[in-house]
Structure 1
């Protein structure tokens, strides 16, 4: 039985990682985590460096001093991660 030949397209994975559906899903998960964390947290969304992956990333971080203290004391963001699971 002949082995199938695979031709890898260098930009295919990069383009897949920034496809509209992928970005929408990642950002929706980020919004759910941000909402579960409560007030004082901010979210950013961007594609990482193409080195070589270029994965899309969402970052949630404390925007205020009060949120930063709450996060340091209670691990707010760690506890909110479960809200980001797929539904």
Structure 2
């Protein structure tokens, strides 16, 4: 069997990916997902949002000792992840 492939070169533009990852609509969506996860986790969890050099980042973190202990014992943040989907 003789297989022939027609291969084309593709040039990716990293600046376009960077621009896309910092888009205001994407940032709003990420922050909404973070808030949904924090709300599902309950009190003591907060959303942290940061715009880095190449992308925007959102984290859900514990804001109290009680929340940190709850997360350690019950995997609360892991269980709350589905709320962000």
Place the TM-score, normalised by the shorter chain, in its bin: 0.7 to 0.9
Query: What is the Cα-based RMSD across aligned positions, in Å?
Result: 1.8
Question: How far 1:47 moved relative to its partner?
Answer: 2.5
Q: What is the TM-score with the length of structure 1 in the denominator?
A: 0.79
Aligned to 1:63: 63
Distance in 2, matches of 1:4 and 1:19, equals 29
Higher alpha-carbon deviation: 54-63 or 76-85: 54-63
Aligned to 1:30: 34
Aligned to 1:77: 77
Which runs of 5 or more residues in structure 2 are unaligned? 1-6
Question: How far 1:70 moved relative to its partner?
Answer: 0.3
Question: How far 1:5 moved relative to its partner?
Answer: 7.3
Deviations 1:7-65 (A, max 9, x none): 644421111111111101111100000000000111111123x4xxx232111111100
Q: What is the TM-score with the length of structure 2 in the denominator?
A: 0.81
Look at both structures and tell me which one has the larger radius of gyration over its CA atoms. Answer: 2
Aligned to 2:4: none
Question: How far 1:4 moved relative to its partner?
Answer: 7.3
Which runs of 5 or more residues in structure 1 are unaligned? none
Deviating beyond 4 angstroms after TM superposition, the runs of 4 or more aligned structure 1 residues are: 3-8
